[in-house]
Chain A
Amino acid sequence: MRDLNRINNPYNDDKVIASCSIFGMMDTSGACFSGEGIIRAITNMHFRGNGLGGGFAVYGLYPEFPEHYAFHIMYSTNIAKADTEDYLGSRFDIALAEPVPAKLNEAIINPPLVWRYFAQIKPEIAAAHCVNQSQDEYVVSRVMEINTHIADSFVFSSGKNMAVFKGVGYPEEIAAYFLLDQYRGYLWTAHGRFPTNTRGWWGGAHPFSILDWTVVHNGEISSYGINRRFLEEYGYECTMHTDTEVVAYAVDLLARKHNLPMEIIAKVFSPPFWHDIERRSESEQTLLRTLRQVYGGLLLNGPFTVILAHQGEMVGLTDRIRLRPLTVGVKDSTLYLSSEESAIRLICPNLDRAWIPMGGEPIIGSIDNPIGAGSKSGKDGAVGVKQR
């Protein structure tokens, strides 16, 4: 019997209203580049944030540990650190544990401890617990447990060869604090936050992450109440006091558990209108109609732009009537996504192409289907929707 009292907050009042700047850049050839460019770009959109949160997600930065879960964990107390390390130590073999390098600057007030651990599930634990579930599933459950049951600990990120750096401050201040110009990755996303109602909490900054999925989000999800209740039915506990969290969990559910490709997930989050669906072919109608019937509770309604990323893929998506901005830029094999075109032009003045996508149209950059080169599948490696 499932625990009938598991739902932790009957009022579903955890939503925090926020508006923001977001930026993402990815070299779809997989080549790594430093964080310098994206820091300049997000700094250019300073006025879209108010200094109450900034953060970055980086993919490909730990080539020396490609097969280890890279836990980035924030602690507000030393007791929390000791408890969490006990918890991890009894379940994982930890190859390396160290504080995340940081350099205090005057903008950063009272920072928490942030440590990183490169870990693999102990073989005996894996043998006992990863029979009916994948290792990823096991890690997700442990992350949920740390976030909900160990006081003053919070997992920033837990994927392989990726990391989330975030905190309270403007994004450029967070970047300086964590020395982000010294990392190299093939995919970066960044976020500057303008919450209208929040406490200064480092865990509440974007990106939000579960396993190697990250989300940066600009907007307010007016459907949050039902999105959250829908996810609770599937065993997700929303703990982070923000609506962005539901996007991360929804992606985890649809991509990892339900095994749906990104093009289809985009149709769940920003589905076509019923009258548009009726104009499609018979098989497409069946698909789109069923998606809306089954996943209606995951329709993200209200103004939003998100940049979703995971290993090898970056996706930009707006709500279906595009109430928040998203500009796309392409230069050679690099894809840029930004709240404002000016930020892209600042770091790459001579773009091959720049455009504003339609509402609800996903922009997908993928290593499997790099821009320009003509891909394995023989499709044009152009970004954008694969029309189904």
Chain B
Amino acid sequence: MKTYLPSRFIIERDSDRCIKCEVCVNQCSFDAQYYDEQDDIVRAREENCIGCHRCVSFCPTGAINIRQNPLEYKSNYNWTAEAIESITKQAETGGVLLTGMGNDKGYRIYWDHLVLNASQVTNPSIDPLREPMELATYLGRKTNKVEVNDDGTMKTKSAPQVRIELPVMFSAMSYGAVSLNVHKSLARAASQMGTMWNTGEGGLHPSLYQYADNTIVQTASGRFGVHAGYLNAGRIVEIKIGQGAKPGIGGHLPGEKVSAEVSMTRMIPEGTDALSPAPHHDIYSIEDLAQLVFALKEATNYTKPISVKIAAVHNSAAIASGMVRAGADIIVLDGLRGSTGAAPKVIRDNVGIPIELALAAVDTRLRQEGIRNQTSIVIAGGIRNSGDVAKAVALGADAVYIGTAALIALGCHVCQQCHTGKCAWGICTTDLALTKRINPDIGARRLANMLRGWSIELKDILGAMGVNALESLRGNRLHLRGVGLTDSELEILGVRMAGS
């Protein structure tokens, strides 16, 4: 069938600069560049270009530029180019539209409507270059009070705690969705920087058990790669109920990505689709969740915090309260902007709520019920920089997960083709020719560099506010003000309007 879809991008090539080296041809995994032997010229198949900029980055002479196709439809607020082209695609394929990465729609990004405070005159700002500044955080359940023996030693027994040196961890990205080299990069960077990385739902490759001290092992509805050794390898066990990019939907790993190594790690036959059920079939209620939480605590002999991850949905606050009472030592909220390797576009674009609102509502609710100390709150979904991190902490998060930001550090250009398995940057693919484009040593260095940068920035932010420990910012919404928000939004965020 002839496609009616126009090309999304225009590939411009400066023929004066092009030396016909064919680097672009070899780098493009989407077949958008080819060498025309007859005319001795490099040509483009623009309809294939997805705008990942791999060719631009690697062209030795800087001959290539990629532009959005300026082709204009008759202007129409309702029938945008995206609306028209989505229908066109479905008319040609008859399927569910798949996509990758997080929600790219124009929903309000609350981080951009919150501003931070700083000290002036009445209290001094603290200079992190000259004074200690503490970003360390302990994740896990805390008691509501401490009891001390007469000799000054502890009477209270603590639940297991995991220390992270900065409140930023790598979000769950399964092996299979991303390559082994990506896992290696994440694991090494987390070990180097004293934070955690997360296996995702696809098991832990044998070569990565050496990084167990910095590993969160996940178990999702498909239970891929879950066995006693796996559960006991990590510092934290995370139950994944839902994911911000596709609340209420299970994971989809197409059979093409299930290579021999993925098959071994996931414990499924090579080449089969790995489809996680939408719900956990042993969790149809909150009391069932409590059973799984305690089954995992039993399996790990009460030595590890158990985390429960949900997508941020309308009644997250009530759900979170139930999760804490069901024994979750850490709760993870993944918001509207949460990313994915593959999701139905309609779900990604329309389901879930912004993480800022979910976080504020959950933190407030747990405090109203007097159970905030019993859990740590970790949030995920669209965190872009240390400013977002500081605002999240001020709203009440103990730590944040970053997924897309980490992949960008590895080279990702957010072209949203993760679901195709053809990632030209070698990240979201298991094609061995492509995965070798990530060198784990370099990848780990890039990731660690980013975390180091963010941690220095966070120290600057704390010091400017006049506090020297992260716990003095955590939940301290007095250090936030809202700009351009309605009264209801301010009330839910628990933040005052700027100027008041």
Contacts and interface: CB of A to CB of B under 8 A. Distances in A.
A264 B124 CA distance: 27
Interface stretch (A112-120, A206-214, A229-237): A229-237
A114 to B, nearest CB: 30
Interface stretch (A60-68, A158-166, A215-223): A215-223
Given A11-B495, A297-B471, A4 B122 contact: no
Given A222-B466, A290-B158, A258 B146 contact: yes
Interface in A1-41: 2, 4-7, 10-13, 15, 17, 19
Contacts of B496: 11, 13
A301 B494 contact: no
A293 B376 CA distance: 11
B123 A299 contact: no
A372 interface: no
A301 B468 contact: yes
B368 interface: yes
A146 to B, nearest CB: 24
A321 B131 contact: yes
Contacts of A258: 145-147
Interface string A332-355: 000000000000000000000000
Nearest to A323: B124
Nearest to B492: A10
A387 to B, nearest CB: 10
18 contacts: A11-B495, A11-B496, A222-B119, A225-B475, A229-B477, A232-B367, A259-B147, A260-B148, A264-B148, A264-B152, A271-B469, A273-B134, A287-B148, A294-B156, A296-B474, A297-B471, A301-B468, A301-B472
A196 interface: yes
A220 B117 CA distance: 14
Give the dominant DSSP class at B's interface: loop
Contacts of A290: 146, 154, 156, 158
A294 B122 CA distance: 29
B479 interface: yes
A129 to B, nearest CB: 22
Contacts of A292: 471
A73 B156 CA distance: 39
A13 B365 CA distance: 19
A320 B154 CA distance: 22
Contacts, number: 147
A365 B476 CA distance: 33
A312 interface: no
Contacts of B491: 10
Interface in B11-60: none
Closest 7 CB pairs of A and B: A225-B478, A296-B471, A301-B472, A223-B472, A225-B476, A301-B467, A226-B476
Given A10-B494, A12-B494, A229 B469 contact: no
B465 interface: yes
Interface string A259-296: 11101100000010111000000010011011111111
Given A10-B494, A11-B494, A274-B136, A303 B475 contact: no
B483 to A, nearest CB: 15
A384 interface: no
B368 A287 contact: no
Nearest to B495: A11
A297 B495 CA distance: 18
Given A6-B368, A226-B475, A289-B138, 4 more contacts: A222-B479, A223-B476, A286-B154, A293-B158
Given A12-B494, A283-B154, A220 B478 contact: no
Contacts of A222: 119, 123, 465-467, 472, 479
A258 B148 CA distance: 9
A7 B158 contact: no
Interface in B126-169: 126, 131-132, 134, 136, 138, 142-148, 152-154, 156, 158, 161
A297 B112 CA distance: 26
A6 B369 CA distance: 10
Contacts of B469: 271, 296, 299, 301
B478 A19 contact: no
A388 interface: yes
Contact of A229 (B146, B467, B471, B475): B475
Contacts of B153: 283, 286-287
B122 A19 contact: yes
A2 B123 contact: no
Of the candidates B143, B153, B472, the one having the most CB atoms from chain A within 10 angstroms of its own CB is: B472
A294 B142 CA distance: 6
Nearest to B152: A388
B93 interface: no
B467 A302 contact: yes
